[in-house]
Structure formats: C-alpha cells, structure tokens
Amino acid sequence: MMAAPVCLPGQSLPSILANDNRKTAGVLRDGVLTVDLELRKGNWHPEAEDGEAIPSYAFAEVGKALQVPGPAIRVPQGTTIVLRVRNTLGVAVTLHGFHERPGRNTDTVTVEAGAKREWRFAAGKAGTYLYWGRTPDGRRGNGRVLDALLGGALVVDAPGAPTNDRIFVLERWNGPTRTAINGKSWPYTERLHYAVGEKVRWKIVNASDLSHPMHLHGFHFSLDGQGDGEKFTIFDDGMKPEEFTHSVEVMETFDMTWVPKEPGRWLYHCHRMPHMRLPVPLDPADARIPEHSHDHQHMHDMDSPYAGMGGMIMGLTVTGKPVLDTETNWKPARRLAMTISNRSGQAGFYEIGLKDAVTGEVSKSTGLTGPLLVVRQGEQTEIAITNNTKEVTAVHWHGLEIESYYDGVPHWGGLGDKRAPALEPGKTFTVRMVPVRPGSFMYHTHWHDVAQLTGGIHGPMVVLPAGEKHNAAVDKSFLFSVSPGEPYGAGLLLMNGSPQPAVMRLMAGVTYRFRFMNITPSMDNLRVSLRGTDGAVVEWRRVAKDAAAVRDGGPQRAEQHVAVGETFDFEYRAAGPGELRLEALSPNDGRRAVQALVFAGQ
C-alpha cells in the first residue's frame, strides 16, 4: 500500500531532522541575534526515521543537522538580526522574508551557488512571520530535489507577550505523503499532551503552496492575531474571534489560544481531504477529487498507527476530570435515529434518514446532502446511528463540544482504554450529547474517505439556543459539497445536495438567517455571494462564524469566503419584492452552484 521510497541511485545523503521549533536558532547578545545558516542537501523522512526518504534541500545552522522546517528565528521586539547564509547547493537560491517587519514580499535576495551573504536588519514589529527559499531545479513539479521544505518560522515577540507557546509550520510537497506539520506526517507528527483547563498557545505558519483550513476537534479557539508573512495584526482582547476552523492562506500565519475543557483524544488537522488521508499516489490537481482509495485495511487494523489517516494531523491527548457527563441522570429529552443507507441503484450515493423517536417526525437527504439536524442547547440528546450500508463508516459532529468518545473519530476518540468504535455494517452506535453553544455546525463521515464524503454522508446541523423553536420559514441552511459522479457529473459543486436547487420562495420585509457550511473535500476558497439578477452584490449582516457570534459590523457587501470546515451565519432582509441569486463559486475553476431566491411582497 505504501508507495516505494523516493531514492535516487548512488546517493547517501545526511538525514534531515524534523524541527519541533522549540529551540531558537543563533546567539542573542546585547540586543543582536546572530544566526549562521547553511543550505545543504539531505534525505528527509516525513514518517519514520528509517522510512520513506525524500532528497530535499534544507536549512541548517552551521555545524548542526539539517532541519525541516528550517531553524526557528525568534527574538524580542527591538532586536537586530544579523543573518549569514552560505549556499552549498549546486544552484542559486532565492530567499524570501529576511528583512524588517512589516516588509514587502517582493523584497527577495538570490544567493548564487557556493556564495555567502550577510544581512543586518531590525526585527521590527511583533508578530508571527516566516522565511522561505526556492531553487530553479526544485521539485515543485518534476524536478529532482525538493525545495518545498525550505521554509521556517520567524517570530518577533511583543514586550511581555507569553512565549510558552508552540510554533507549527505547515508543509506540503508533491510526493506520496504530501503534507506535514513541523517536518512529520501523521501518525509520526508530534503527539501533544495537555491538562484540562490549561491555556494552550499555538502559532501556525503556512510555509506551503496551498491554503489549509485547520480544524480543532471538540473545542473553540481564540484567534489572537493573523498575518500575511510580511505584516501581522495582534487583536485586542475582546476583539478576538472564536472559531473551530481557521483557513491559513499560502505563506500566511496566525496565533491561537484555546483551553481544553474535556479530557480524551482529540485531533487538530487540515480539513482538505487530500491533506489528511493515508498516503495515496500523487494527484496532479490537488483540488480535484482523487479516485476512491481503498484505505480500509488500515482502518480495520486497530494496531495500525495510521487509524485511517495521514498527513497534516496532530493527535492531542487531554487529561483531567471530565466536565461533560452523559451518564449521571441521563434522561434524554431528545432521541433521534439516524440511518445511513446505500441509495438503491445508484452506486456510491448514500441516503441519510432522520427520525425523531419522540415526535415520530421523519426527514431524509435532499439530493446528495443529509437532512438538517436540529438539536437544542443544554438538552440531553441521543442519536442512534445505524449503518445500513456495506461499508464501515463513522460520523463526526463538526464544531460540537462533545465527549471525545462520541466525537466520531474511530479507533482514536475516547478516554483511556475506551476507544470509539468504527460503525460496522448492520451495527448501531448511539451518540450522547448535550450541546453547549448554539450555532451552525455539520455532521460528516470521519472515515477519511472522499467517496463517502461526496456520496452524501454529511449534512447541516443547527444547535438552537435553549428554549427556542426552529422556524424553518426564516432559518435557512445552505451546505456546499461536491458530487462524486452521475447523475450530476463528478466534481460538480452542490448546494444542499444539488447543482441547481429549486427556487426558494421568501418574503420581502422578513429577516432571514442564512447559514453556510462548506463540506467540500478540498474547495478551500469557496466564495458565497448574494446578488441581484443583474449580478450586483446586495448587502447582508454577518452575525456568526463557526457558531460564535461576531461583532456587528453593520450591513456589508454580501460576499463571503467560506473555507472548508467553516460555517457562517448572515441575516438578510429584502426591502421589496424581486429575485436574488445565492451563488457559490470556486474561483479557481469556475465551478458554481446557484440558488434562486424569489421575494414576494407582503
């Protein structure tokens, strides 16, 4: 199953070590940090140290081992940086980011083969930044040596800012394993251990060539600051958004803090399916959906360290006293039965049924998207999921604060020896939850299988504030997914399970809540807009992102980037009758789904 190691004949190269970014490069003396770097070639091992070896260009501190990511450069604000780089490669390297911040990304320096350069610059404004290099022969495509890993963190600490944090550099390369964090791919990424109540601070640096929607299971985090590699904005207290997914663009960075509230095993991962799957043969167009891969032997093997996943994933173990309790006085007010079935006569399509055991109310998939699941904040809720398909699956409650065992990551979730099972064909698994906060969520397969995800094992999920009733007339969910094949054609963008849903009839003068959810496998730059039939964008009001209220910024242009794994809530009120179009667009390739909204006068 594993691809053959990429080894060129006749090479015995030194190993490149994974850099956990805990140590700062160089020597800091009298306000001056002096760093001596070298560029050399080595073999990088994204998995085990004796596993797959990929010839790569890398940075090292002079006299030390090569590192991926490159040595972390970290200084207090006010420091001057003296940086020397010796290029021992046979080719020139163009270096980005070795300058004062804020800076310009066009400010680059090329160091010729065999040459040495020295820079001296003020570190500048506090923030999380990066540096990176490229070579003309680098394997961005079919070159022989990888230059995609020539990147490292550059952090400038504000006076008094906490430094008991971690820096995680995201990497991607064209190879069988393809994505890594701090130089390793799951299951070889660092395992992190935290205690309930501990304040966790992370700095995320995207040194790769694609965006990564980074999703934290089980908890919201606070976005403390973000930057584009050249500028960085630190948000004031009270202005820090809470999120469960943050997409970090190419060569951009962000800082986050979060507090683990519930013990168990959790994940932090990129939500683009190709970046979190088992190693698969190279897919040339990353945005396209790879063929259905048969990862299943790894999933079934409980002893496999992969647990069905690979790439840009970190495993987090939280210890401490549980807060959520679904054992004591468990008398669920809400009992739901969810069935997952193969759609008859349509291979690869799934159908989800939802039945309220108390009211008897039944709903099912619309097109290729599962029915809207509505639960209530603070209400004991039980969902019995029955797998009527012939395949193993698992259901994850995206964004929900839930016990690790019920989080939906088979063979991983759970507390101590108790591990969440995979949902075998013919079996039922009953999930217990007491939703903590209201908002827009999703449920979806966590079987790490593009075919299941696109085939329809996903759906919108809404948590209503305690005591509130769902008003379907004004509360509208729009979930975006991608189709696996006929009848819609492979790779089509879908809205609520269809490329062109039926006209929605609404009323002028009424305030609607529009909820957007992106569960496409990898369409991370999805743009959602609300326009007149002439194409002119109208105005709406943004009220929430990732089930957390956002500051009321007043009416704004009705156009929103919805990254994979993000949810947004907007309010919209049409002043008068007319027709609008809710458009979801993938700007890269022009794929779109359009929902016509016709507003009648009152």
- The residue written with tokens 């990129």 in the block is 270
For residue 269, the minimal CB distance to Cu ion (Å) is 8
Q: Considering the complex, state which of residue 274 and residue 439 has its C-beta at the smaller distance from Cu ion.
A: 274
Of 223, 270, 434, 494, the one binding Cu ion by CB under 5 A: 270
For residue 434, the minimal CB distance to Cu ion (Å) is 32
User: Alpha-carbon distance 79 to 229, whole Å?
Assistant: 18
For residue 204, the minimal CB distance to Cu ion (Å) is 12
User: Alpha-carbon distance 79 to 96, whole Å?
Assistant: 19
CA torsion 44-49-52-54 (nearest 10°) is 10
For residue 443, the minimal CB distance to Cu ion (Å) is 21
Does 66 bind Cu ion (CB under 5 A)? Our answer is: no
Stretch that binds Cu ion, among 266-274, 321-329, 429-437, 445-453 (CB under 5 A): 266-274
User: Alpha-carbon distance 552 to 316, whole Å?
Assistant: 34
Q: Considering the complex, state which of residue 33 and residue 204 has its C-beta at the smaller distance from Cu ion.
A: 204
For residue 107, the minimal CB distance to Cu ion (Å) is 27
In a 3-state reduction of DSSP, which class is residue 322? coil
For residue 312, the minimal CB distance to Cu ion (Å) is 5
Per-residue exposure over 398-429, b if at least 16 CB sit within 10 Å of its own CB, e if not:
bbbbbbbbbbbbbbbbbbeeebbbbbeeeeeb
Does 277 bind Cu ion (CB under 5 A)? Our answer is: no
For residue 247, the minimal CB distance to Cu ion (Å) is 9
Q: Considering the complex, state which of residue 409 and residue 538 has its C-beta at the smaller distance from Cu ion.
A: 409
Does 450 bind Cu ion (CB under 5 A)? Our answer is: no
Of 41, 139, 203, 275, the one binding Cu ion by CB under 5 A: 275
Q: Which of residues 209-238 bind Cu ion (CB under 5 A)?
A: 212
What size, in residues, is the chain? 602
Stretch that binds Cu ion, among 66-74, 263-271, 430-438, 479-487 (CB under 5 A): 263-271
Q: Considering the complex, state which of residue 170 and residue 544 has its C-beta at the smaller distance from Cu ion.
A: 170
Does 40 bind Cu ion (CB under 5 A)? Our answer is: no
Tokens of 72: 């972390």
DSSP summary character for residue 569: E
Q: Considering the complex, state which of residue 139 and residue 212 has its C-beta at the smaller distance from Cu ion.
A: 212
- The set of residues, in sequence order, having a beta carbon less than 8 Å from that of 525 and lying 6+ positions away, is 211, 561, 563, 586, 587, 588
- The set of residues, in sequence order, having a beta carbon less than 8 Å from that of 302 and lying 6+ positions away, is 411
Beta strand pairing call for 116-122 and 578-586: unpaired
For residue 417, the minimal CB distance to Cu ion (Å) is 32
Phi, psi of 541 (to 5 degrees): -125, 125
Q: Would residue 540 be called left, alpha or beta, if left means φ above 0 and alpha means ψ between -120 and 50 degrees?
A: beta
Q: Considering the complex, state which of residue 267 and residue 270 has its C-beta at the smaller distance from Cu ion.
A: 270
Which amino acid belongs to residue 347?
A: A
The side-by-side arrangement of strands in the sheet containing 127-134 is: 70-76, 151-157, 127-134, 93-96, 108-111
Count of residues in contact with Cu ion, rule CB under 5 A: 4
Q: Considering the complex, state which of residue 53 and residue 214 has its C-beta at the smaller distance from Cu ion.
A: 214
Does 374 bind Cu ion (CB under 5 A)? Our answer is: no
User: Alpha-carbon distance 458 to 443, whole Å?
Assistant: 5
Q: Are 94 and 110 in contact (CB under 8 A)?
A: yes
Q: Considering the complex, state which of residue 203 and residue 212 has its C-beta at the smaller distance from Cu ion.
A: 212
For residue 309, the minimal CB distance to Cu ion (Å) is 13
User: Alpha-carbon distance 485 to 371, whole Å?
Assistant: 20
Q: Are 493 and 550 in contact (CB under 8 A)?
A: no
Cis check: omega of the bond before 46, within 30 degrees of 0: no
Q: Considering the complex, state which of residue 204 and residue 464 has its C-beta at the smaller distance from Cu ion.
A: 204
Stretch that binds Cu ion, among 208-216, 344-352, 371-379, 445-453 (CB under 5 A): 208-216
Does 398 bind Cu ion (CB under 5 A)? Our answer is: no
Stretch that binds Cu ion, among 32-40, 103-111, 269-277, 445-453 (CB under 5 A): 269-277
For residue 229, the minimal CB distance to Cu ion (Å) is 17
In a 3-state reduction of DSSP, which class is residue 299? helix
DSSP summary character for residue 469: P
Phi, psi of 482 (to 5 degrees): -125, 140
Stretch that binds Cu ion, among 154-162, 262-270, 337-345, 506-514 (CB under 5 A): 262-270
Does 246 bind Cu ion (CB under 5 A)? Our answer is: no
For residue 92, the minimal CB distance to Cu ion (Å) is 30
Does 272 bind Cu ion (CB under 5 A)? Our answer is: yes
Instruction: Name the site residues for Cu ion (rule: CB under 5 A).
Output: 212, 270, 272, 275
